Chain A
Amino acid sequence: MQKRIFPVTGSDTAHAMRWGAIAAFSLIVGIFLGSRGLRDFDPALVSYAGACVFTVFGLGYRYAMWLRRPPTRLYWYRGWQIFLEPRHFLRNAVHLGRIILRNIVLQRFIEKRSHLRWTAHWFLAWGCILAGAVTFPLSFGWIRFETAAHNQEIYRALLFGIPVGSFHLGTWIAEAAFNILDIAAVMVLIGIFFAMWRRGRDHGAMSVQQFSNDLIPLILLFAICVTGLFLTVSTHLMHGLHYIFLSQLHAVTVILTLLYLPFGKFFHIFQRPAQLGLDFYKRAGAEGPQAKCRRCGEEFRSQLHVEDLKTIQAALRIRYQMADGSHYQDICPQCRRKNVALIQDGLWKATSMSERGLL
């Protein structure tokens, strides 16, 4: 297994380009097939679909790059290896469901960081997911709505050209379906409001936040929501006033955001699931043998993790081998702290003792 993970060979860029291209090509194929050879494809949305292809290229590139980093690569392989372990597969699948609910759906770990942060994040995340769930398939031509042939009052939704449901105009489902993007926009705006409130008040958050990383994403989302809501306002309240201009403006904000996606803060959406793999890794570690610190003799971490770290460190050319053949990684963090202090204090004690003629 170790052999398969390391060493990482070949040019990083070429490798990442390849994966980027594969991802982009897959999407194009997906669009073509999913829209039944572009029959269901809405040409008005072509700019969105195009931007998505670029974005997917970027994501593939970035993800591949990310997986080239020794620690990530190791966890990637280990995570799958442990998850797919045939003996535990059923147990693992059940557990996966549980942690997806806890970490991805409810995002409980964020709640513990701060309620305000959690509230903000939850609204932002679910607003975006909701919007994405509608807009991406729409612009790829994967879903489509049409009125039923026999009844103008009934709408049918088709996925990949296959009818998956229908609803009657005037029902709440219809209302929800037509206004789903507005609902999503409001959710995102609520999230932005909480996030900005927090960032504007918490002195600690203010001092570490960066404009490009922490504020740009909020600004982009804000722009999408506002222009999107204006479209609704324009349609329903202002008889389509400036509709064309507004829709172009909206498209620009969306496309910018899509292009930003692989490179800025939003990339964490794709990194985050690694936490799930890690959960399995930690469990496997805890069930296996534990590493004991060479200095204090106490258990401090799973043997699996400590040995994997040595592998990672070797791949990163971190040379923790000690002169006596032992490995610095076998010393627990607490002993490292004590050890450094003892050495420094010892240097002083030696000096003062040699001054006093004791050494």
Chain B
Amino acid sequence: MARLPVDIPTLVKDFGPTLHRIPAGGWAHTIEDEKLVKTHCCFCGQQCGIQLRVHNNKIVGFEPWEDFPFNRGKLCPKGVKRYMQDEHPDRLKHPMQRVEGKGFEAISWDFALQRVSSEIRRIQDTYGKDAFAILTGASLTNEKAYLMGKFARVALQTANIDYNGRLCMVSAGAASKKVFGIDRSANPWSDIPKAKVILVAGANIAECAPITTDYIWQARENGAKLIILDPRMTPIARNADLFIPVRSGGDIGVFNGMLHVMIERGWIDRPFIDQHTVGFEQLAETVRKYTPEYAAKIAGVPPAMIVKAAELWGPAPTSFLMHSRGIEHHTKGVDNCIAAINLVVASGRIGREGCGYAMITGQGNGQGAREQGQKCDQLPGMRDIANPEHRRYIAGIWGVPEESIPQKGLSAIPLVEAIHDGKIKGLISICFNPAISLPDANFVREALEKLEFYVNIDFFLSDTARYADVVLAGSLMEEDEGTTTSVEGRVIRHRKVVAPPGEAREDWKILCDIADRLGHGDKFRYASPREIFEEMRIASKGGVSDYFGMSWERIEENNGLFWPCPEAGHPGTPRLYENGKFGHPDGKAHFIPIEWRPSAEMPDEEYPIILTTGRVVSQFLSGNQTRRIGSLVDQYSQPLCEIHPRLAEKLGIADGDFVKVESRRGNVVVRANLVKTIRPDTVFVPYHWPLDRSANNCTIRAIDPVSNIPEFKTCAVRVSKVNQPTDPIAMLEVQAGGIQ
């Protein structure tokens, strides 16, 4: 019965989002009895070091941690104000169950766990094991991510577990694995300032990975040239030597066109290609037709830009390529990344100081959470769930028969579709807010309503948790301990700063308790997250992401350790592929020829404009945390539709007008923001907001055939001026989905 128990305004009244503005203890600050705890930001994949100020067992503020080498005290606004999610009035402090017509009522842990386990039993007995699914998240610690995978395969024995990294890193990961053989950024960030040319494709670094800015600016101080591909002029792009305002989905045009020019002018590293790669000839054959003119048509930019890009990138002595969701969120996301990586390998500039490649992780543990076996097709250590040898090893660690480990299950989008189809009847979710973060949000909400039983673990009542039958009050990052793996592949320590408030519990304890009630307690006897880490470390042994040689002490002493770290004395591996040794069994990099193909939905007469979506610096993902922090909401309070004045003029839209952005699937009504910094054929709406303010009402449920990432970055819409909406949702406060 996963339907909203009461209407949304009532839920908002009871559970927020409300804005927290004043820290525990007020603004006046005393330094007596204060404790500073060194830990990391809970938000994006940069995982900045930060110290939290604790007074009387309450988190009352923060202090920069200047000694942590990655960010040296630097923080984005989310990091600065993250402490405002502590002592928050919306915080869930006890388990709850849905009461029709009333909302949610508090229940005891005993009752909650009993109900959850019996519903799991009932559904699995009635419809089969796979009818109960798990959706998990990439902001969980490595320990929790590992536990989720094991919980699915051992306690529930369901094949259907997947995570929200499916919306994030999977295209980059798949491409990297295909070309290099390993799914990780190849270099530590310290290589960036040493590069003489930097190519950033589809990454709004200033807003989504702000700390990386200084690395790039430092490279410029050292004389580097900067090339940026983005349909919008981002703050970084303003200072670029070459800004290519590529049409969303046209990136392959630029990459193949650049390679075409590079081959033509001899700007490729022949000896490197011969020695360390395979497949170059087919690639060269493919890009032959990508003359600048041909490529420019695909990319939607002047050919001269592509030539200029090749001229900057081709002959440079050192270089660094970075990309993120802008090229990855496509039905050809993997291909986009491969086409970009081909440029790196063809130049031979990889695996050396100042020469490298990185994918910019989005979520807090975007890297680590995809290594520990919570993806539908993977086991811990990035092992392949279809590989019998891998299965055997993990079965051994878990102490279960190999056959009991399910085979590959559904990835996130097909999983939600299976719910919609009635094939999956029960769901447990943690650290995932699909009602906002998945494409085609109307479909997702419909799917949620079809669940027979839905249990959600969270610390705030997220937009998705409103549909739950049972909500289990879990823990914030700072209320538990563990490790995460940052954008660089650096494994770092999150420390416990305070205990979960009220009856809320650490997430791992909740999972172990459920496993216990399902009769698998013997496999989930952990006294602490450190014991989970110890098991995970061994489970990863011999895998690609090998943590075997790490310990929490070593991680702390070294300000993080880079995997692979296969044995106890091993210093870790900050830079991959040194001396041209790649991750494939043959030790070589594999070129893959890429042909451009159109997006799932191209603009047409009826829906003539491209909608692209993304983030703003002050909000994080679905906003379940950041839409509750007053000063972050003040910074950018409601979604705006960026639209070029030329397009706006054609549509009769003025700055600040209310506009309806409408696709075949749904619409979003927001205010127009007229800016010349976006392509005139494209509009942009950030996606952090719920309900009628959700850009994902419009986006398309089409996925990449390899990575299964949804095509968030391109869909066809029409835009029109409307009157100010006055329905009950519009009248809510902005952070709850209202509009001003």
A and B touching (Cβ–Cβ under 8 A): yes
Cross-chain contact A203 with B241 (CB below 8 angstroms): no
Q: State the interface size on chain A (CB cutoff 8 A).
A: 8
Nearest-CB distance from B220 to chain A (Å)?
Answer: 9
Cross-chain contact B241 with A202 (CB below 8 angstroms): no
Q: Quick check: is A204 within 8 A (CB to CB) of the other chain?
A: yes
8 Å CB contact of B30 from A114, A116, A201: A201
Cross-chain contact B241 with A204 (CB below 8 angstroms): no
Counting chain A CB atoms within 10 Å of each CB, the highest count among B29, B31, B32, B241 belongs to: B29
Closest A residue to B30 by CB, please name it. A201
In the bound complex, residues from chain A placing their C-beta under 8 Å from that of B28 are 114, 116, 201-202, 204
**Bound state CA distance, A116 and B26, in angstroms?**
13
Q: State the interface size on chain B (CB cutoff 8 A).
A: 6
CB 8 Å contact bits of A302-339 with B (1 = contact, 0 = none): 00000000000000000000000000000000000000
Nearest-CB distance from A111 to chain B (Å)?
Answer: 15
Q: Quick check: is A356 within 8 A (CB to CB) of the other chain?
A: yes
Closest B residue to A202 by CB, please name it. B28
List residues 80-116 of chain A with CB under 8 A from any CB of chain B.
Answer: 114, 116
Nearest-CB distance from B190 to chain A (Å)?
Answer: 25
Judged by DSSP, the binding face of A is helix
**Bound state CA distance, A189 and B663, in angstroms?**
71
Closest B residue to A348 by CB, please name it. B239
**Bound state CA distance, A203 and B29, in angstroms?**
6
Closest B residue to A200 by CB, please name it. B30
Closest B residue to A204 by CB, please name it. B29
**Bound state CA distance, A202 and B30, in angstroms?**
5
List residues 18-59 of chain A with CB under 8 A from any CB of chain B.
Answer: none
In the bound complex, residues from chain B placing their C-beta under 8 Å from that of A356 are 241
Closest A residue to B29 by CB, please name it. A203
CB 8 Å contact bits of B21-55 with A (1 = contact, 0 = none): 00000001111100000000000000000000000
Nearest-CB distance from A33 to chain B (Å)?
Answer: 51
In the bound complex, residues from chain B placing their C-beta under 8 Å from that of A352 are 241
**Bound state CA distance, A352 and B239, in angstroms?**
10
In the bound complex, residues from chain A placing their C-beta under 8 Å from that of B29 are 202-204
Closest B residue to A114 by CB, please name it. B28
Closest A residue to B242 by CB, please name it. A356
In the bound complex, residues from chain A placing their C-beta under 8 Å from that of B241 are 352, 356
Nearest-CB distance from B47 to chain A (Å)?
Answer: 29
Closest A residue to B31 by CB, please name it. A203
**Bound state CA distance, A204 and B30, in angstroms?**
8
**Bound state CA distance, A7 and B13, in angstroms?**
64
In the bound complex, residues from chain A placing their C-beta under 8 Å from that of B31 are 203
List residues 182-228 of chain A with CB under 8 A from any CB of chain B.
Answer: 201-204
Nearest-CB distance from A235 to chain B (Å)?
Answer: 41
**Bound state CA distance, A202 and B29, in angstroms?**
5
List residues 484-539 of chain B with CB under 8 A from any CB of chain A.
Answer: none
List residues 643-680 of chain B with CB under 8 A from any CB of chain A.
Answer: none
Nearest-CB distance from A309 to chain B (Å)?
Answer: 32
Nearest-CB distance from B421 to chain A (Å)?
Answer: 55
In the bound complex, residues from chain B placing their C-beta under 8 Å from that of A203 are 29-31
Nearest-CB distance from B539 to chain A (Å)?
Answer: 47
**Bound state CA distance, A138 and B54, in angstroms?**
55
CB 8 Å contact bits of B2-31 with A (1 = contact, 0 = none): 000000000000000000000000001111
**Bound state CA distance, A352 and B31, in angstroms?**
47
In the bound complex, residues from chain B placing their C-beta under 8 Å from that of A114 are 28
Nearest-CB distance from B196 to chain A (Å)?
Answer: 15
**Bound state CA distance, A114 and B32, in angstroms?**
20
**Bound state CA distance, A116 and B28, in angstroms?**
11
**Bound state CA distance, A204 and B28, in angstroms?**
8
Closest B residue to A349 by CB, please name it. B239
Nearest-CB distance from A52 to chain B (Å)?
Answer: 38
In the bound complex, residues from chain A placing their C-beta under 8 Å from that of B32 are 201
Nearest-CB distance from A176 to chain B (Å)?
Answer: 36
In the bound complex, residues from chain B placing their C-beta under 8 Å from that of A204 are 28-29
Nearest-CB distance from B216 to chain A (Å)?
Answer: 15
Nearest-CB distance from A117 to chain B (Å)?
Answer: 10
List residues 397-446 of chain B with CB under 8 A from any CB of chain A.
Answer: none
**Bound state CA distance, A356 and B312, in angstroms?**
12
**Bound state CA distance, A133 and B28, in angstroms?**
35
Counting chain A CB atoms within 10 Å of each CB, the highest count among B28, B31, B241 belongs to: B28
Closest A residue to B28 by CB, please name it. A202
CB 8 Å contact bits of B214-244 with A (1 = contact, 0 = none): 0000000000000000000000000001000
Nearest-CB distance from A208 to chain B (Å)?
Answer: 13
Nearest-CB distance from B42 to chain A (Å)?
Answer: 26
Nearest-CB distance from A281 to chain B (Å)?
Answer: 32
**Bound state CA distance, A114 and B29, in angstroms?**
13
**Bound state CA distance, A244 and B28, in angstroms?**
45
Nearest-CB distance from B30 to chain A (Å)?
Answer: 5
CB 8 Å contact bits of B102-143 with A (1 = contact, 0 = none): 000000000000000000000000000000000000000000
**Bound state CA distance, A356 and B226, in angstroms?**
13
Nearest-CB distance from B225 to chain A (Å)?
Answer: 10
**Bound state CA distance, A271 and B486, in angstroms?**
58
Nearest-CB distance from B305 to chain A (Å)?
Answer: 14
Nearest-CB distance from A113 to chain B (Å)?
Answer: 11
Nearest-CB distance from A253 to chain B (Å)?
Answer: 31
**Bound state CA distance, A201 and B32, in angstroms?**
8
**Bound state CA distance, A356 and B29, in angstroms?**
51
Nearest-CB distance from A146 to chain B (Å)?
Answer: 51
CB 8 Å contact bits of A107-143 with B (1 = contact, 0 = none): 0000000101000000000000000000000000000
**Bound state CA distance, A201 and B26, in angstroms?**
12
**Bound state CA distance, A356 and B31, in angstroms?**
53
In the bound complex, residues from chain B placing their C-beta under 8 Å from that of A201 are 28, 30, 32
**Bound state CA distance, A214 and B645, in angstroms?**
57
Nearest-CB distance from B243 to chain A (Å)?
Answer: 13
In the bound complex, residues from chain A placing their C-beta under 8 Å from that of B30 are 201-203
**Bound state CA distance, A65 and B602, in angstroms?**
77
Nearest-CB distance from A352 to chain B (Å)?
Answer: 8
Nearest-CB distance from B590 to chain A (Å)?
Answer: 37
**Bound state CA distance, A67 and B580, in angstroms?**
79
**Bound state CA distance, A352 and B28, in angstroms?**
46
**Bound state CA distance, A202 and B28, in angstroms?**
6
Nearest-CB distance from A345 to chain B (Å)?
Answer: 9
**Bound state CA distance, A323 and B31, in angstroms?**
52
**Bound state CA distance, A181 and B31, in angstroms?**
38
Nearest-CB distance from A112 to chain B (Å)?
Answer: 14
**Bound state CA distance, A203 and B33, in angstroms?**
13
Closest B residue to A352 by CB, please name it. B241
**Bound state CA distance, A114 and B30, in angstroms?**
15
List residues 234-262 of chain B with CB under 8 A from any CB of chain A.
Answer: 241
Closest A residue to B32 by CB, please name it. A201
- Top 5 A-B residue pairs of the complex, sorted by shortest distance between their CB atoms: A201-B30, A202-B28, A203-B29, A203-B31, A203-B30
15 CB contacts below 8 A, A to B, read A114-B28, A116-B28, A201-B28, A201-B30, A201-B32, A202-B28, A202-B29, A202-B30, A203-B29, A203-B30, A203-B31, A204-B28, A204-B29, A352-B241, A356-B241
In the complex, besides A114-B28, A201-B30, A204-B29, 12 extra interface pairs with C-beta distance below 8 angstroms are A116-B28, A201-B28, A201-B32, A202-B28, A202-B29, A202-B30, A203-B29, A203-B30, A203-B31, A204-B28, A352-B241, A356-B241
